[in-house]
Structure 1
């Protein structure tokens, strides 16, 4: 059964805790050409580092057999991060994904999701809103 507007509101279990480390921040900063601030005791993550954390939550969406999504037919159309506070080295966080809206246009589905990132005590850190465009195989 493919994804439909009826899937809006579906939520997934939180990801396993992810530890933001100085090493991961330095690797990310090098990969995207941002200066690393690893000389601080608990350096702040670059704003787009949240994509690393939210990626694990996206996995629950793309591996859900009920939805029939195929990652190789997905375009990531939009991304927004809303921070409650910045991510820092030493943070231990989880990410929880929910489907906000599904629009179906022929063989194309437009899927809007939100991933809420919280520390392991449940305090909010950020919210990431994404829009994915998925094309059904029969459209090809």
Structure 2
């Protein structure tokens, strides 16, 4: 059965813990070309978009869900927003739990809204990332 509004509310188990490190934060900031001093030094924090590194395995659970019939080569990441409680820091060990918030089927595309709740392994809520994906359908 292809993805439909009936799949809204589906949740996926938390991802395996990911340990945030100063090295990974530095690599990410360098890839962005962002020399913000907040991303270096003894009290560094991760750039706001670093959380996409952590969230990607949760998205992959959704993409690989056989019940949804999603083909990754037909996905466009259309929108992304983050709501932070605090920034990620080196030493944070985090997991991500994904929920399908909304699925809208329109003509040749499916619009999938998913939220990813990022928490430390101790249960501290750090961030929620919400993404909208556009999945084009196979022509009939």
Distance of 2:125 and 2:134 partners within structure 1? 28
Name the residue aligned to 2:40. Answer: 38
- Is residue 105 of structure 1 aligned with residue 106 of structure 2? yes
Q: How many residues align?
A: 138
Name the residue aligned to 2:52. Answer: 51
Name the residue aligned to 1:93. Answer: 94
Distance of 2:107 and 2:121 partners within structure 1? 41
Distance of 2:138 and 2:90 partners within structure 1? 42
Question: Cα offset for 1:138?
Answer: 2.0
Question: Cα offset for 1:122?
Answer: 1.0
What secondary structure, in the 3-state scheme, does the structure 2 residue paired with 1:50 have?
A: helix
Name the residue aligned to 2:20. Answer: 20
Q: Tell me the TM-score normalized by structure 2.
A: 0.95
- Is residue 77 of structure 1 aligned with residue 78 of structure 2? yes
Distance of 1:53 and 1:65 partners within structure 2? 23
Q: CA RMSD in A?
A: 1.1
Distance of 1:16 and 1:67 partners within structure 2? 22
After TM superposition, the runs of 4+ consecutive aligned structure 1 residues lying more than 3 A away are none
Which stretch has the larger CA shift, 46-55 or 29-38?
29-38
Name the residue aligned to 1:5. Answer: 5
Distance of 2:13 and 2:135 partners within structure 1? 23
Post-superposition Cα deviations, 1:92-118, rounded to whole Å, max 9, x if no partner, equal 000010000000012310000000000
Question: Cα offset for 1:43?
Answer: 1.6
Which stretch has the larger CA shift, 118-127 or 30-39?
30-39
Distance of 2:74 and 2:20 partners within structure 1? 30
Distance of 2:29 and 2:91 partners within structure 1? 16
What secondary structure, in the 3-state scheme, does the structure 1 residue paired with 2:58 have?
A: helix
